[in-house]
Amino acid sequence: SIAPPMRSEYQRFVELSNKGARELGFADTGAMWRSKYDMPPAAFAVEVDRLWGQVRPLYDQLHCYVRRRLNQKYGDAVVPASGPIPAHLLGNMWAQAWSNIYDQVAPAGADPGFDLDAALKAKGVDAKQMVKYGENFFTSLGFAPLPETFWERSQFTKPRDREVVCHASAWDIDQVDDLRIKMCIESTGEDFRTIHHELGHNFYQRAYNHQPPLFRDSANDGFHEGIGDTIALSITPRYLKGLGLIAAEPDASKDTGLLLRMALDKIAFLPFGLLIDQWRWKVFSGEITPANYNAAWWDLKLKYQGVVPPVERSEADFDPGAKYHVPGNTPYTRYF
Ligand code: X8Z
Ligand code: ZN
């Protein structure tokens, strides 16, 4: 396990980060992060709660449905018919997006009518071609193609000779047009969508390169995350047919499957997108102390996502450290 050794370093990091935030006039690092939304930091926390209350009923329904299907599959001893779902059965290491268990939970006869993983494999689409498809979406909207340096300097595949951070990211090196992505692309539907997410960052960055430096960032960090995700919603069966990746557009009878698959990613993500910073805001404010880092993490996992760990956890563990953005110190409410 890679996270436990981070625990003491993370504790020290929190102290130093807060020191810096206080020198800049903020109460702590969490307050500094919450200060960027055109309202007082406290008002932002209230707004986030309000939004969660608005979408929570939809999440609760999905959670209830998925639990029922997993209960049928695994039985009462593994997935009780009521209460939380064991986090390891949701098809994702962090239980943050659940479409990998689509086949396990779909109602009988509800296939989405196409399989992007299979289509990409069948066509032998490689990493660079995956990125080309993404670029083509943006150029079809009227944006200029990416510069040659993007193709030369990006990392598309996992190097064979060294360890790298594979978590996808987008970079604006010179604030002009030295744009790059860093990914370990596999030819899957998930990575096809993530490429659109990352290119959303790059095209956004370049679109602002004539602004004065202070205006080159997005209005707030949520906009930066939202561009590519919004674009990726356009990866519909019709669009894929247009690209020649699938042979035919499924008829409307396949909509249930399509929408369930989408919900397993997008609706399931909502409480996850929220809880990471609910934990960090309290860590930075001191309300969560190192003595209860891990217990507080799982309290929030239970409260928001309704999931429990597969095995008993203790303060010898540091489960938040397994999520890229925690050691990377990237704010997370932006994704919510
Ligand atoms: O970290 C990301 C992007 C890079 S900004 C790949 N995302 C979050 C995650 O993977 O945890 C996109 C969706 C949520
Ligand atoms: Zn992003």
Pocket test for ligand 1, best of 169, 197, 223 (most atoms within 8 A of CB): 197
Tens-place pLDDT, residues 291-331 = 999 999 999 999 999 999 999 999 999 999 999 999 999 99
Show the tokens assigned to 184: 């370990």
Tens-place pLDDT, residues 219-238 = 999 999 999 999 999 999 99
pLDDT of residue 275: 98
Distance 66 CA to ligand 1 centre (A): 23
Tens-place pLDDT, residues 95-108 = 999 999 999 999 98
Which residues does 250 contact at the CB level (< 8 Å), separation at least 6?
112, 113, 114, 237, 258
Radius of gyration of the chain (CA): 21
pLDDT of residue 112: 86
Tens-place pLDDT, residues 23-80 = 999 999 999 999 999 999 999 999 999 999 999 999 999 999 999 999 999 999 999 9
Confidence label for 1 from pLDDT (cuts 50, 70 and 90): low
Element at 169 (helix H, strand E): strand 169-172
Pocket test for ligand 1, best of 191, 225, 233 (most atoms within 8 A of CB): 225
pLDDT above 80 (res 17): yes
Rounded to whole angstroms, how far apart are CA atoms 92 and 100? 7
Distance 110 CA to ligand 2 centre (A): 31
